Amino acid sequence: MPIKASIIPVTAFQQNCSLIWCEETKDAAVVDPGGDLALIEKAVEEAGVNLTQILLTHGHIDHAGGTAELAEKRDLPIIGPQEDEKFWIDQLEDQATMFNFTPSKSFEPTRWLNDDDEVKVGNVALKVVHCPGHTPGHVVFISEEDKLAIVGDVLFQGSIGRTDFPKGNHEDLINSITQKLWPFGDDIVFIPGHGQLSTFGDERKTNPFVSDRALAG
């Protein structure tokens, strides 16, 4: 497979920051650098890759808190999320104070993303899927060729994202998962924002919130 991925748990929330790279070119992206930048930079060095960009699924502090600092330090473009996420990105400084995180700065992404956009990491093409519900501008990155998705806080092994934050919407989240993600196929392996990897197929069988049986009931 041309894509490789390494998971770097960061922040007190143990968020799954991902380092992904193209095996052919060694160009890499960090997805959701929430903090602990020394750990992220160590992973980049150990992988021997060329970090070219930052990708963001959404604007919560544990996913985006280290973005501005890393972008400035490495002169990296910030790609994503969808523009409705400006609501959360503009509040990063307040979020850091509220959750006792390292001070964080808001930022303007280099490129906002929308449904069906494509992001390239080396020769790897990632399809962008706008999946509102947990937050309004949340996006998911999917490599259809490699059967790999990075889903942020939309879906977890055995659970789904919270929708009790401002601008969260439970119905939107269920629709995002079942109408936008499931069609990619049961064999998609996904990296969630927290916890263990799973597949869309396993969640359709067993997830108490979005399994076929749960929704049929």
| pTM across the whole model | 0.98
Per-residue confidence band for 1, with pLDDT thresholds at 50, 70 and 90: low
**What does the buried/exposed string (b/e) look like for 73-93 if buried means 16 or more CB atoms within 10 Å of the residue's CB?**
eeebebbbbbebbbebbebbe
- Does residue 8 contact residue 32 with C-beta atoms inside 8 Å? no
Domain boundaries defined on the chain: 3-216
- Tokens matching residue 134: 């947990």
Q: What is the pLDDT of residues 160-209, one digit of tens each?
A: 999 999 999 999 999 999 999 999 999 999 999 999 999 999 999 999 99
- Does residue 193 contact residue 152 with C-beta atoms inside 8 Å? yes
Q: What is the pLDDT of residues 53-92, one digit of tens each?
A: 999 999 999 999 999 999 999 999 999 999 999 999 999 9
Q: What phi and psi values does residue 114 have, to the nearest 5 degrees?
A: -140, 170
Say whether domain 3-216 belongs to CATH 3.60.15.10.
yes
